[in-house]
Structure 1
C-alpha cells in the first residue's frame, strides 16, 4: 500500500529519453549546489583510480542521515537519473525536506572510470544485443560495491579501492540512519533487498512496481545463498552467507567476489539498507507462478549445461590469446575474472539440481529467470571479451590469432543474440517508471528507517 504523500511525490518524476552519463550526473549536482547554496553543498569525498574527483551533494538539515550512492556497478545507470531527481526535489521543495526529515548525502556516481566504459549504450537504440556488445563490468576486486574489508573464516580482503575508501569514510562520517546503493538488473521482474527483516515495509515495496504495471520477480533469486523474506523481497546478499553456502557444496569462496559489501560495512552503525533491483526490459512471465509443465531439476540442469558451454567457449578463446595480448585492458582483466566465475556458477547449478525436492514441477517464472540468466551471461561476457580483443586490435596488436578468435567469437555472439531475441521479445521499460520505483523505494525505506 502506498500512502497519499508518496503517491503524489511519484508524480514529480519527469520523462527521460536516455540514460545520463557521468558528466551529466556530476554536472547536475554541481548546478544544484550553485543554485541552492542555503540548503546544499557539494564536497569532494575521494578520488577515482584514474584521478577523477568523487563528489557528494549534501542537502538539508534533518536529524536523520541518508546516504544514496549511484552507479555502484558501472553497467547500472538507472540510479544516475534517480540521484539527480532526488537531489532536485530535496533542493527545491522545503516542505518535502521537512516532511522526510533527513540530511541527504548523494553521490551521483561512485565509479566514474567504469561507468564511462558503458556510455556507448546509454543513448540510441536500446536492445539486449547492443547492450551486451558495449557492456563492461569490472573484475571482482575492482567492483566498488564488493571491495569493503572482509575477515570471515579463512577469507580475508583488505585491498580496498580508492572509491570504496571514499564510501567507507562517508558512512563513518555521517553514521547513516538509512542507506541505499542504486542498482539494477537487466531482465525479469522487480525485486528488493533489505538489510534486516522489516515486514511492515513490504506492502509499500511490492505496491511500487504494480503501480507501473511491472511484475514482481517470482523466479530464481540471484544466488542460492539468498534468504527469501516475501515475494520479491530478500535479505541482503552478503559475503558471509555466500561463503557458508559455497562451503556447504564443496566450493571455494575465492573467485566469487572479493570482499564485503557496503551494507555489511554499515552494519556497525545500525544502518537500515534497502536496495531495489530493476529490469531494463519488460517480461510479464517473471511474475507468473503457474506450473510450467517441466521438472524443476531439469530446468536447473539445462541452465548448468548452457553455462558450462559458455564457460568453455570463453575459456578456449582466452587461452588462445593470453600469450599474445599486451594491454591488460579493463575488459581483459574482467574477462579473466568472469570466465572462471561462469564455470563455477555452472558447477553450482549442476550440484543444486540434485538437491532433495527439486523433482517438483517448475513455475513459469522459474523457467523464465533461468533462461534469462543464460542469455544475460552469454551477451555480457561474450561481448566483454570481444571488447578485450578489439582493444588489442585497436592499439595495433591485431595478431593473426587475435583477429581469428575475434571473428569466430563475433559469429557466436551474433547467434546467441538471435537466440535471446527469439526466446522473448524485449520491450524496454520507460525510464520514468524505473526512476519512479527507485525514487519511491528511497522515500519509503528512509521513512520506515526512522520509525
Structure 2
C-alpha cells in the first residue's frame, strides 16, 4: 500500500488548532495518554490477576469476577466486569442472551493477552479497570458495563515472563520470546468457512471469548495488541473518519511516530495513514490464492472481529511498538522502487527459513522433548520460505512507484523480527534438551551453530529496532485510543455487515 506523503506544514486556525486536529471531545481523550502510572516492567500472570482481585476487593459493589473458561493447561480464565450503575443486575456470562429491546445499556469488552508476547495490554487493562472504578465521570460518560479479560492466554504468557521484568533488553526479549503457531493463537482460531477453507478446531480460550461475546453482544470490542518496533497503527472494523484526527494526535502527544510504511497485511484496506480495516480471512484467502498459494492450507481460523460482527460490534485495535524508530513515519521517496524493497525482504526471509530449516531438520530426529517452542518453530520456519515465494510473486504485480523510507524500514525490520523471533524459539527448543540432560552430540552441535549465527543477528537488528519506549507511555497511548474508539462506538449505530463465516 502506498505510504503517506510527508506532512506539509499548515496554518493554525483561530483557536490555535491545526486543520484536521481532534475536536474538543477528541482532545479530551488525548489528555489520557499521560494518566498511566510509571512502570519498569510488565506484570506476570499471577501478579496481574492478583492486582485485578485486589481492585475487586476494594470495589465489591462495582466489580464482579467471573470465570469464563479454562486454558489448555487447566488454568481458570477470568473476566472482571465493572458496572456504571451498581443497582443494575450484573450481566450473566454463562449463556448467550436473547435480544432485549428494553436493554439499551452498552457493553464493552476488552481482552488482554490474545498474543502472549504482547504484554502492553496487561498494563492498559488494569489501568482502565482502575479508572472506571475510581472516576465517576468516566463511568457516567460511557454507562453500561465493561467486561475486562486481563489475560486470555496465561499458558503462553508464562513462557514470555523471562523478559517481562526487563522489557527494554532486546537480547532478553529474543531469547525468552514465545508465540504459538497460527492455529494455536486465540485471536486466529474462531470458526471459519470460506471457499475451500474450513476451520473448527476452536481452542478452549477462543471458545471462552465466543461465549463472552455471545452473552454480552458488545457495542465495542478491543483485543489488546502491541507490535515490536517502529510506530503506532490501528485496525477498525468499519471506517470512522471522525476518529482519525484523534488517532493521529494520541501517539504524537507521546512522541511516538505512526507506522506509515509497508503494512503487515498487504490485503487490508487503508483508511488513513496507519489506520486500516480489520484483517479479514476471506480477503486473506483471495489475496493468497491470487499469488498462487494453497490458501486453504495457509489459513487457520477467523478473528474475534469477524465473530463479533454478527452483533454490529465496533472492533478496534491499537498496535503500539516496544521500540520507536523515526523512519517508521518517513514518507520521503527513495531512488529505489517499492517492488525492490519487497524483493529484498523476500530474499532475507528465504535465507532465514533455509538456515533455520536446515538446523531443525538435523536436530529433529534427536529431540525427545515436544516443547511449545518446538511446535511453534515447526510451523513458522517452513512458512518463511513460502512467504518469500509469495512476496516475490507480489512484487511482480506492484504498481511502479518509489519506495519510501518508511517502506524500507518496515520491510527491513520485519525481516530482522523473523530472525529474532523464530531463531530465539529454536534456541529455546534446543536448550530445553540440554537443560534436561537429553541432548546428544547432534543437538548440542546445532545449538552451538545457531547461537553463533543468532548473536550476529542480534547485533544487526539492534539499530533497526530503535529506542525503547516507557511501559506507561505505551499503555497510555493504547488506553487513550481505546477510550476514543469506545466513545465512537457508544454513539454510533451498529453498522457492521455481519459475520459471513
TM-score over 0.5 for the pair: yes
Helix, strand or coil: the match of 1:159?
coil
The answer to whether structure 1 residue 413 and structure 2 residue 449 are counterparts is no
What TM-score, normalized by structure 2, do the two folds share? 0.87
Matched, 1:390 2:426: no
Distance in 2 of aligned mates of 1:179 and 1:427: 31
Change (3 A) 1:425 1:198: closer
TM-score normalised over the length of structure 1: 0.97
* Alignment match, 1:338: 380
> Structure 2 CA distance, aligned partners of 1:257 and 1:245?
11
Mind listing any 5+ residue stretches in structure 1 that lack a counterpart?
Answer: none
**Secondary structure of 1:323's partner?**
helix
Q: Which residue of the partner structure matches residue 24 of structure 1?
A: 47
C-alpha contact 1:21 1:116 (8 A) present in aligned 2:
yes
User: Of 202, 209, 212, which aligns to 1:170?
Assistant: 212
Q: How many residues matched?
A: 449
1:148-167 aligned within 5 A = 148-167=190-209
User: Which residue of structure 2 aligns with residue 14 of structure 1?
Assistant: 37
Cross-structure match for 1:373: 414
Is 2:81 aligned against 1:58? yes
Q: Deviations over 1:71-111 (max 9, x none)?
A: 10000000000000001011112221011223100000000
| CA contact 1:255–1:337 (8 Å) conserved in 2 | no
How far apart, CA to CA, are the structure 2 residues paired with 1:138 and 1:158?
18
Which residue is equivalent to 1:443?
483
CA contact (8 A) 1:68 1:107 kept: yes
Partner residue, 2:117: 75
Residue 432 (structure 1) aligned to one of 452, 472, 496: 472
Question: What corresponds to 2:17 in structure 1?
Answer: none
The CA distance in 1 between the partners of 2:398 and 2:340, in whole Å, is 13
Alignment partner of 1:134 is 2:176 = yes
Deviation per residue, 1:380-439 (Å, 9 max, x gap): 000011101111222222111110000000011011111112x43631011111111110
For residues 254-403 of structure 1, what are the structure 2 equivalents within 5 Å?
254-358=296-400, 360-403=401-444
Secondary structure of the residue that 2:378 maps to in structure 1?
helix
* Residue of structure 1 in register with 2:142 after alignment: 100
Residue 318 of structure 1: CA displacement? 1.0
Distance 2:44 2:29 in 1: 28
The secondary structure found in structure 1 opposite 2:56 is: helix
SS at match of 1:204: helix
The structure number with the bigger radius of gyration is 2
Task: Tell me how large the CA RMSD over aligned residues is.
Answer: 1.3
For the 8 Å contact 1:146–1:257, the answer to whether it is kept is no
Residue 255 of structure 1 and its aligned partner are, at CA, apart by: 4.9
1:211 aligns with 2:253: yes
1:274: how far off? Answer: 0.7
Alignment partner, residue 284 of structure 2: 242
SS in 2 for 1:184: strand
SS of the aligned residue for 1:234 comes to: strand
* Rounded Cα–Cα distance in structure 2 between residues aligned with 1:51 and 1:372: 36
Task: For 1:157 and 1:104, locate their aligned partners in 2 and report how far apart those are by CA, in whole Å.
Answer: 30
1:190-230 Cα offsets, whole Å, 9 max, x none, are: 00000111111111111111111111111111121111111
- Secondary structure of 1:57's counterpart equals strand
